[in-house]
Structure 1
């Protein structure tokens, strides 16, 4: 597990956009992540790590530790948006990061890394704007 994480971390880093707009930042991040997983060995490596973590406690612990760092990294996009007034002050950036990661992992684990930009942007829009009826 540690070796898989080390190999995965050696791959090119995924760019985290800072456009000044949270929807553009999150959509750009997901598009970059999907391309990274699709176009490099990283997707297969990370998928293998997730699979190993299901039956190996050491792998699960390594994945959990790695994921904490990624959660914090993704959460910084939300914190920047809070500072700009785009996101409510009481929003937990870590929970939003978990929702983004859930969307990404589902696509990785189901072989759907070719999702088009419109679908990614729709998912981000639902997350940022909510799904309730406008009042």
Structure 2
């Protein structure tokens, strides 16, 4: 990566090239020094950028780290036409990403630090808000298909899914089997389904078991 590119002086508006250079530098510092050794000073030296510029674009170290984390995130957001399968696929992909890349450790450290640092907590809340909107789209699609009751709040469902995922991250249980993930998702989907739809799904599962 071009982490040693000289930053262009562009004033307050963020230049995509300059921002990429800073993010490249942040990734390199994180890889070399780890979470505990990460600092804006080290990123500024690596990117040949001024600290005021970095702080103008990212108001805190945590905000920059969340951008670094999101930049490297590779998680599936399925659109299979079935909410249960979509959510199971999403959680499996998320667990795999956390388990197989350094990002899981970074995100776990950010969550832990947020418990005692108001700045990190604010950055985490802002990041979570954006991600819940993204996850909520799966719920909105299912609502349009009639799988979800009209009065269900997608953001609240996203909170429930995040709680399940974060618990597994924080307790290092990212190798959870698909059957357990599917059971947890089913509890959620049954709770938010229209009554008639939920009854049809239960009858269908019973027939499969008996058959």
The alignment's TM-score, normalised by the length of structure 2, stands at 0.60
Q: Distance in 2 between matches of 1:125 and 1:12?
A: 26
Compare 103-112 and 10-19 and name the one that shifted more. 10-19
Partner in structure 1 of residue 143 of structure 2: 82
Larger radius of gyration: 2
Partner in structure 1 of residue 108 of structure 2: 47
Partner in structure 1 of residue 206 of structure 2: none
Superposition pairs of residues 16-95 of structure 1, within 5 angstroms: 16-95=77-156
Q: Does 1:5 find its partner at 2:5?
A: no
Unaligned runs of at least 5 residues, structure 1: none
- Structure 1 residue 6: deviation in Å? 2.2
| Count of residue correspondences | 131
Q: Distance in 2 between matches of 1:6 and 1:125?
A: 32
Task: Give per-residue Cα distances to partners, 1:22-46, cap 9 Å, x unaligned.
Answer: 0000010000000000001110010
Q: Does 1:119 find its partner at 2:205?
A: no
Q: Distance in 2 between matches of 1:55 and 1:4?
A: 17
Provide the secondary structure at the position in 2 that maps to 1:19. coil
Unaligned runs of at least 5 residues, structure 2: 1-61, 192-198, 200-211
RMSD over aligned Cα atoms: 1.1
The alignment's TM-score, normalised by the length of structure 1, stands at 0.93
Q: Distance in 1 between matches of 2:146 and 2:86?
A: 15
Question: Would you identify which runs of 4 or more consecutive aligned residues in structure 1 move more than 3 Å?
Answer: none
- Structure 1 residue 75: deviation in Å? 0.6
- Structure 1 residue 12: deviation in Å? 3.2
